[in-house]
């Protein structure tokens, strides 16, 4: 049974994503992600200029008139949404936390995929696998995916283990899939799993961040706590050196992460809790389409 609060959130996501999944986004998605190949559609009469290699000799022999085979792109894809629900995602300095933004991104991508008649699956992870929903089609299935993402709560502290989640993905998803890995990537040791998963799947890391993770305002003494370990430290934000150190560390972490993505040959997307994620996704689709062609 859904609580009134969760039901309201599901409806809000449904309304918001339905509005954002316009013809433009659906078209960009189809252009950015190609099908698995070509499949037979029909035979039709030969026309001057047709490739003679497409002639259907069996039909031609039966009718005495040349016919050719017509093929169309096999469009159906499997889309896996991997959503990091660890404790670090509970942080948010604006209206919504990183976990909330991750859930909305997952909802938008799920609606976009279903609109293209693709299958959608879900993996929610922390430092372990919290939930797995096998890929399926259908509007009701998408609502279940959104409901599970929005309703997921971890009572105790939980860390992030991207590598473990990718290992699980490779076990349950044998065929190639389009995989959106939505996380803040505040962990280590995922370089090799990213590289291995990218060889089997079309892997797209979606990095969710908050502006205050890289820049602090000068407001005096504040206590910073690691949501995953509970470690805390008090810093003086009036001290410019402290603020510059934080910015430098954040930049180094981002650069190391991006280098890993580049070396693995994966396209990645960055989304801030302070930005319009719908616009970011459309820009990514357009950029990816250019890279394909």
Q: Where are the domains of the chain?
A: 75-208+266-292
CB contact set of 203 (below 8 Å; sequence gap of 6+): 179, 181, 194, 197, 264, 266
Which CATH number is associated with domain 75-208+266-292?
Answer: 3.40.50.410
The per-residue pLDDT string of the chain (293 residues; one tens digit each, 9 = 90 and over) reads 455 665 666 666 666 655 665 555 666 677 677 654 555 557 888 888 888 888 999 989 999 999 988 765 555 789 999 999 998 888 777 888 898 889 888 888 888 888 788 899 999 999 999 999 999 988 888 888 888 887 787 767 688 899 999 999 999 998 889 999 999 998 888 999 999 999 999 999 999 988 887 777 777 777 666 666 667 777 777 777 878 888 888 788 888 888 889 888 898 999 988 888 888 888 888 888 776 54
Q: How far apart are CA 21 and CA 36, in angstroms?
A: 23
**Reported pTM:** 0.76
Torsions phi, psi for 51 (to 5 deg): -70, 125
Cβ-based burial of 206 (10 A; exposed 0-12, middle 13-18, buried ≥19): buried
């Amino acid at each position: 049974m859904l609580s009134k609060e969760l039901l309201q959130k599901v409806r809000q996501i449904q309304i918001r994503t339905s509005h954002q999944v316009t013809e433009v986004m659906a078209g960009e998605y189809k252009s950015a992600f190609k099908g698995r190949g070509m499949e037979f559609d029909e035979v039709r009469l030969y026309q001057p200029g047709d490739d003679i290699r497409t002639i259907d000799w069996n039909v031609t022999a039966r009718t005495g008139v040349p016919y050719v085979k017509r093929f169309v792109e096999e469009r159906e894809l499997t889309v896996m949404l991997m959503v990091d629900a660890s404790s670090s995602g509970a942080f948010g300095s604006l209206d919504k936390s990183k976990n909330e933004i991750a859930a909305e991104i997952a909802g938008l991508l799920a609606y976009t995929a279903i609109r293209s008649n693709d299958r959608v699956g879900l993996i929610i992870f922390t430092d372990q696998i919290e939930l797995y929903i096998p890929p399926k089609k259908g509007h009701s299935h998408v609502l279940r995916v959104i409901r599970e993402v929005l309703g997921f709560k971890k009572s105790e502290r939980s860390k992030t283990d991207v590598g473990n989640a990718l290992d699980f993905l490779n076990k349950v998803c044998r065929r190639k899939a389009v995989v959106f890995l939505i996380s803040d990537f505040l962990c280590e040791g995922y370089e090799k799993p990213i590289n291995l998963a990218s060889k089997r799947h079309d892997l797209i890391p979606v990095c969710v961040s908050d502006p205050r993770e890289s820049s602090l305002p000068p407001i005096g003494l504040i206590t910073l706590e690691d949501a995953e370990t509970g470690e805390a430290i008090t810093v003086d934000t009036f001290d410019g050196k402290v603020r510059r150190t934080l910015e430098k560390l954040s930049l180094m972490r981002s650069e190391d992460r991006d280098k890993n993505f580049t070396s693995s040959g994966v396209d990645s997307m960055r989304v801030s809790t302070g930005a319009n994620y719908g616009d970011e996704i459309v820009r990514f689709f357009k950029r990816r389409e250019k890279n394909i062609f």
